[in-house]
Amino acid sequence: MAVGGMPQAVEAYVEGKNFSEIDMVKRQIISLYEDDFKKIDASGRISALYHAIPAQLSKDSRKYWITSAIGKKNNTRAEELLYELLDSKTILPCYNSTDPRVSLADTKDFDSYKLYLADTGLFVTLMFIDRPVTENDVYAKLLSDKLPAKG
């Protein structure tokens, strides 16, 4: 969970690197993602949508709020940016279902969804991206379920 499945991060783990070193590898991957996002939209709003995922998941909200991530802008353009991010396959949407007893495809609510990162290791790193590096003790607490978190 903490390493994730990105080949570079897995390779660093197999080589016996500590979690802080693996975290630096994952930060480089996130930086590459950001560079690619800027090729799609130079304003940085796709990166903002991506970076907002951990914070939005920590809230009690029932859905992802685009306006919380990028502000109140043109809704049509904001949705286009969201679909560009979804097309990148770096995130996964989870849609609310209005009636889970029947086909999910028939009852999914496209206006009510949460977003998740496609890689758990990148999610862990993105949660602590405001720090220069995520220290080994944070990973140790996370893996032993002793990291205080809102629940």
Dig out the tokens for 64 from the structure: 């992802």
Summarize pLDDT for 90-135 with one digit per residue, the tens.
999 998 888 877 777 788 888 889 999 999 999 999 999 999 988 8
Whether 150 shows a pLDDT value over 70: the answer reads: no
Question: Is-contact 5 121, C-beta < 8 A?
Answer: yes
**Residues linked to residue 142 through DSSP beta bridges, in sequence order:** none
Q: How far apart are CA 55 and CA 59, in angstroms?
A: 7
Summarize pLDDT for 40-97 with one digit per residue, the tens.
999 999 999 999 999 999 988 889 999 889 987 667 888 899 999 999 999 999 988 8
**Residues linked to residue 108 through DSSP beta bridges, in sequence order:** 97
The secondary structure of residue 91, as a DSSP letter, is: E
Q: How far apart are CA 41 and CA 29, in angstroms?
A: 18
Domain residue spans of the chain: 7-143
Q: What is the pLDDT of residue 144?
A: 86
